[in-house]
């Protein structure tokens, strides 16, 4: 009895149901399709194979649950990697072929309410558990579909824990606490996977309990320990191309929700124009994260993003100079993530100057 044939029949049965495929239903259908002439060990193996193919992230599920894993990357059927604090690591997970990788990518896209096919060969979406999915199909991805899963952080780290663990060097800790207490506006900058969101969440936990935080995010990644948090989540367009809600839309809504601090989880587009405007209209202490290689490059980075929002160079410079105070830069090293530099925006002159005030 071929496993592939049974899995295909179970897949066909599931396609005719009006309910999501759960593990219990998959196991039930496998028993029906396998019949009575099969021993318990073979039946259990069949159920596991069907669950890997038809439920959740399939063979990637154990990797997603592994402590310390931040990303799961599928480059080919026999090339599955994980990213951990120690760096990239190749795993023993294998797919039968490129078609199995494609089926998983398309099923994950469907779980996120998106389409992934020859007409729409890539997808960038958020799964129901908050994990981020990016997938690309051939011929855009040469040879085999490529899947990238960013694992939603399962643990909140307090400011004290980050200090004790070395992520926040002790000399920088007092400066950061004063920055929050003085309601200074700031950006956490760094590269992909450097720990910007984790650090921002810990900093927001220092905000006094009588202040109202409005969080604007693509995915629910920030998890500050704070009693008054309102979360607004962006939404992509549906398969008909309607219903999109952008971060820029949400920043504008946040300003009407009586915020004490407006927080943009990741500034990466036109929403920077609205955030800068908010920081210049009495909303002190606002913050967000931005991808940047160093504090010195933040001005150019914000210029490029603000251009998408209709701000010219002179306007964005004046908004930055008046509204932003501090840059907190974090880097990823072989020993882990660490705050490497603090810088301040200096007023005066046509172009805001970024002045380092501390470095490790």
Q: Give the model confidence (pLDDT) of 130-151 as tens digits.
A: 788 999 999 999 999 999 999 8
Model confidence pLDDT, tens digit, residues 297-341: 999 999 999 888 888 888 888 888 888 999 999 998 877 899 999
Q: Residue 32: its pLDDT value, please?
A: 74
Q: What are phi and psi of 149, to 5 degrees?
A: -120, 120
Which helix (H) or strand (E) segment holds residue 239: the answer is none
| pLDDT cut 70: percent of the chain above it | 90
* 157 pLDDT tier (thresholds 50, 70, 90): confident
User: Mean per-residue pLDDT for 114-124?
Assistant: 91
According to DSSP, residue 126 is labeled E
User: Mean per-residue pLDDT for 110-139?
Assistant: 89
User: Mean per-residue pLDDT for 98-124?
Assistant: 90
Q: Enumerate helices (H) and strands (E) in the chain, giving the number of each.
A: 12, 14
Q: pLDDT at residue 27 above 70?
A: yes
Q: Residue 278: its pLDDT value, please?
A: 83
Q: pLDDT at residue 153 above 80?
A: no
* 22 pLDDT tier (thresholds 50, 70, 90): low
User: Mean per-residue pLDDT for 81-97?
Assistant: 91
Q: What is the DSSP string of 295-315?
A: GGGHHHHHHHHHHHTT--HHH
The alpha carbon of residue 171 and the mean position of all alpha carbons in its chain are separated, in whole angstroms, by: 29
Q: pLDDT at residue 180 above 90?
A: yes
Q: Residue 205: its pLDDT value, please?
A: 96
Please provide the size of the chain in residues.
360
User: Mean per-residue pLDDT for 177-199?
Assistant: 94
Q: Residue 15: its pLDDT value, please?
A: 61
Q: Residue 21: its pLDDT value, please?
A: 61
User: Mean per-residue pLDDT for 38-58?
Assistant: 72
Nearest one of 233, 236, 283 to 255, comparing CA atoms: 283
* 60 pLDDT tier (thresholds 50, 70, 90): very high
Q: Can you read off the two tokens belonging to residue 272?
A: 């920077």
Average pLDDT for the chain: 87
Distance CA 359, CA 357 (A): 7
User: Mean per-residue pLDDT for 156-173?
Assistant: 93
User: Mean per-residue pLDDT for 2-26?
Assistant: 67
Between 122 and 236, whose confidence is greater?
122
Q: pLDDT at residue 20 above 80?
A: no
* 36 pLDDT tier (thresholds 50, 70, 90): low
The residues pairing with 345 across neighbouring beta strands, listed in sequence order, are 354
Cβ burial of 319 (10 Å; 0-12, 13-18, 19+) is buried
Distance CA 230, CA 212 (A): 8
Model confidence pLDDT, tens digit, residues 271-300: 888 888 888 877 889 999 999 999 999 999
Structural contact between residues 77 and 98, judged by C-beta atoms closer than 8 angstroms: yes
Distance CA 87, CA 69 (A): 10
Cβ burial of 32 (10 Å; 0-12, 13-18, 19+) is exposed
Q: Residue 133: its pLDDT value, please?
A: 94
Q: CB-based contacts of 37: which residues, under 8 Å, 6+ apart?
A: none
Q: Residue 113: its pLDDT value, please?
A: 80
The residues pairing with 84 across neighbouring beta strands, listed in sequence order, are 87
User: What's this model's pTM, rounded to 2 decimal places?
Assistant: 0.81
Q: Residue 237: its pLDDT value, please?
A: 76
User: Mean per-residue pLDDT for 167-173?
Assistant: 95
Model confidence pLDDT, tens digit, residues 251-264: 999 999 999 999 99
């Amino acid at each position: 009895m071929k496993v592939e044939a049974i899995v295909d029949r179970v897949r066909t049965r599931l396609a005719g149901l009006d309910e999501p495929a759960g593990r219990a239903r998959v196991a039930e259908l496998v028993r029906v399709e396998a019949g009575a002439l099969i021993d318990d060990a073979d039946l259990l193996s069949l159920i596991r194979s069907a669950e890997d193919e038809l439920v959740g992230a399939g063979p990637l599920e154990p990797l997603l649950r592994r402590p310390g894993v931040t990303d799961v990357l599928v480059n080919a059927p026999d090339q599955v990697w994980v990213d951990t604090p120690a760096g990239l690591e190749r795993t023993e997970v294998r797919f039968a072929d490129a078609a199995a990788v494609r089926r998983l990518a398309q099923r994950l896209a469907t779980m996120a309410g998106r389409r992934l096919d020859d007409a729409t060969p890539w997808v960038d979406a958020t799964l129901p558990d908050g994990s981020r999915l990016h997938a690309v199909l051939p011929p855009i991805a040469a040879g085999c579909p490529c899947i990238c899963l960013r694992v939603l952080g399962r643990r909140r780290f307090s400011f004290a824990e980050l200090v004790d663990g070395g992520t926040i060097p002790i000399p920088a800790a007092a400066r950061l606490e004063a920055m929050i207490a003085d309601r200074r506006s700031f950006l956490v900058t760094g590269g992909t996977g450097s720990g910007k969101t984790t650090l921002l969440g810990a900093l927001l936990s220092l905000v006094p309990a009588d202040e109202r935080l409005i969080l604007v995010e693509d995915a629910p990644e920030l998890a500050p320990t704070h009693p008054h948090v309102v979360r607004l989540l962006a939404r992509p367009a549906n398969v008909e191309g309607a219903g999109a809600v952008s971060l820029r839309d949400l920043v504008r809504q946040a300003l009407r929700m009586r915020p004490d601090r407006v927080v943009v989880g990741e500034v990466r587009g036109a929403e920077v124009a609205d955030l800068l405007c908010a920081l210049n209209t009495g909303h002190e202490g606002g913050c967000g994260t931005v991808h940047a290689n160093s504090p010195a490059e933040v001005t150019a980075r914000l210029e490029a993003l603000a251009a998408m929002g209709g701000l010219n160079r002179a306007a964005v410079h004046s908004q930055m100079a008046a509204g932003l105070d501090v840059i907190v830069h974090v880097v990823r090293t072989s020993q882990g993530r660490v705050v490497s530099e603090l810088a301040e925006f200096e007023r005066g002159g046509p172009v805001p100057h970024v002045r380092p005030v501390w470095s490790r």
